[in-house]
Amino acid sequence: MNVRSIHVRLILWYTVLVIFTSVGFGAYTYQSLRQRLYDEMKETLTRRVEHVRDDVLTHITTYTPDALKREIQDVYSPEENDRFIRISNSDGSTLYVSGSPRDKNFDPSRIPLPKDYTAKVSERMEQLRSSEKLLLVGFITPLAGNNYVVEMGAPIDQIDSALRKLIITLLIGLPVIIIIAVAGGSLLIRRALHPVETIRATAEQITFSNLRQRLPVAATGDALEHLAKTLNQMLERLDLAYQQASRFSADASHELRTPLTIMRSELESIESTMHAGQLPLAIRERIGSVLEEAERLSGIVEGLFAIARLDAGEAKIGHEAFDLAALVRSTVEQMQLLAEEKRISILIDAPGPVFVAGDAARLKQVIVNLLDNAIKYTLAGGIITFSVFLEQAKAILRIKDNGIGIPSEELPHIFERFYRADKVRSRTTQGAGLGLSIVRAICQAHGGTAQVQSTEGTGTIVTIELPLADRNLQENFNAAA
């Protein structure tokens, strides 16, 4: 999983969390406010009912209906306050009922009497004509042989409108909060993951050819800094081990060169004596074959030595600017004979000079190895085409043949050392499987790449990409020319 998908996953989780929290908070706020408003209204109504019961009901027998009405009007003014007050008897007769409120929201005479007289304190909601409701609190008080019922009511439209306003505020506010939280969260997550992405991108670039590169260490003082430092220490150890292994290969192949050269010159001198006819034919043939093998071994050791030195970074790469197209032309000319022997034609498509900075001798080796392969693996009468051109500020060298091609399952391995695709078919051809390894090592030492595309039976294309010489180098070259 890459850093981008971690970022997306974290953001998705975070968004879900923010939405759940915000919606939960909104629902909780709505519910608790609703409860509180209702409780407060019930409390107020209950207090008033108690008040009427204590102040008025206890003297009910002393009031005439008019006096009762006046008393309640004076003390509670129910019509002005949008309140409903009713004093009734449990037999269903009404002693007092308040008048219509100012806004005529309800008609007190149509509010039904309580159905149940068993509970001392009751609470109910009456649906009015409109969509509004009236909250009623009633008390039943036994007095002088009667069961008096005092009811106090208030429309809940104010509560409803306060709750409606809260819902509107939540509907507008919550999405804004969610958007801000998610955007801020995304920014923070991106910032937090940025060092991880930098470490990943750098680590991806590190191969055996640039093992000296280190991961960036952001001085954050956290686990990421620690991780980058630990990985760098690991790279340090890997680099050291790799250098030791490369140096060992370089030293070993270097040590092998001298005895091999001596062996070859000894064999060559014996061979020259052979011409004088001093040795029997069978021995001469054997010496010839041993010399051939010694030369082959010598070639392998030279190849190994070159790769090991490039790997160990010991090989000095020149940095003169030169025209890659001209190098291709001169190398092809020198190898023309080899191609002619197989009646293979070589075409060069290089419309203009392409300047690269590097080691001409080593890049010539690249051309030699690639052309050698193309000739080896192309049947008689085939065509090999070299193209040299510029593409996206890079120098491109492409060599295409219409030879036997490489089976797709072999392609990933052909740059490996000593790898020879399809051993059976390769047996007839010379080569130790080091040619392409040398090509890649030289290209990497120049900061370039080597890639192969091939279709079995159709042909192979090898593409070399090299950095261009910078302007100064090109100008120096032009001035010198």
Interaction of residue 166 with ligand ADP, rule CB under 6 A: no
Closest of 464, 463, 460 to residue 374, by C-alpha: 460
> Considering only residues 101, 108, 435, 448, which one is a binding residue for ligand ADP as defined by CB under 6 A?
435
Structure tokens at 292: 């051939």
Beta bridge partners of 124: 136
Phi-psi region of 381 (alpha: psi -120 to 50; beta: other; left: phi over 0): left
Interaction of residue 303 with ligand ADP, rule CB under 6 A: no
- Give all strands (DSSP E) within 267-392, no chain letters: 320-323, 345-349, 355-358, 383-391
Give, as ranges, the residues between 222 and 281 that touch ligand ADP (CB under 6 A): none
> Considering only residues 432, 447, 468, 474, which one is a binding residue for ligand ADP as defined by CB under 6 A?
432
Interaction of residue 404 with ligand ADP, rule CB under 6 A: yes
Interaction of residue 421 with ligand ADP, rule CB under 6 A: yes
Structure tokens at 262: 């001596």
Which strands, in side-by-side order, build the sheet including 383-391? 345-349, 383-391, 394-401, 459-467, 449-455
Start-to-end C-alpha separation, the chain = 53
**Alpha carbons 47 and 238: distance in angstroms, whole number:** 84
For ligand ADP, the closer of residues 138 and 382 by Cβ is 382
The count of chain residues that interact with ligand ADP, using the rule CB under 6 A, is 22
Cα 433 from chain centroid? 38
Distance of closest approach, residue 238 Cβ to ligand ADP, in angstroms = 25
Interaction of residue 377 with ligand ADP, rule CB under 6 A: yes
Q: Which stretch binds ligand ADP (CB under 6 A): 79-87, 143-151, 224-232, 416-424?
A: 416-424
For ligand ADP, the closer of residues 391 and 422 by Cβ is 422
Interaction of residue 414 with ligand ADP, rule CB under 6 A: yes
Phi-psi region of 97 (alpha: psi -120 to 50; beta: other; left: phi over 0): beta
- CA-CA-CA-CA torsion sign (436, 444, 247, 230): negative
For ligand ADP, the closer of residues 127 and 430 by Cβ is 430
> Considering only residues 56, 87, 135, 374, which one is a binding residue for ligand ADP as defined by CB under 6 A?
374
Interaction of residue 155 with ligand ADP, rule CB under 6 A: no
- x/- map, 454-473, ligand ADP, by CB under 6 A: ------x-------------
Distance of closest approach, residue 453 Cβ to ligand ADP, in angstroms = 11
User: What are residue 407's phi and psi, to 5 degrees?
Assistant: -60, 140
Phi-psi region of 431 (alpha: psi -120 to 50; beta: other; left: phi over 0): left
- Any idea which residue has 């193309």 for tokens? 374
Distance of closest approach, residue 347 Cβ to ligand ADP, in angstroms = 15
Interaction of residue 382 with ligand ADP, rule CB under 6 A: no
Distance of closest approach, residue 375 Cβ to ligand ADP, in angstroms = 9
Structure tokens at 142: 């036994």
Q: Which stretch binds ligand ADP (CB under 6 A): 48-56, 132-140, 181-189, 432-440?
A: 432-440
- Any idea which residue has 């759940």 for tokens? 20
**Alpha carbons 175 and 121: distance in angstroms, whole number:** 44
For ligand ADP, the closer of residues 136 and 374 by Cβ is 374
Interaction of residue 426 with ligand ADP, rule CB under 6 A: yes
Interaction of residue 310 with ligand ADP, rule CB under 6 A: no
Interaction of residue 306 with ligand ADP, rule CB under 6 A: no
Report the interface residues with ligand ADP, using CB under 6 A.
373-374, 377, 401, 403-406, 414, 419-422, 426, 431-437, 460
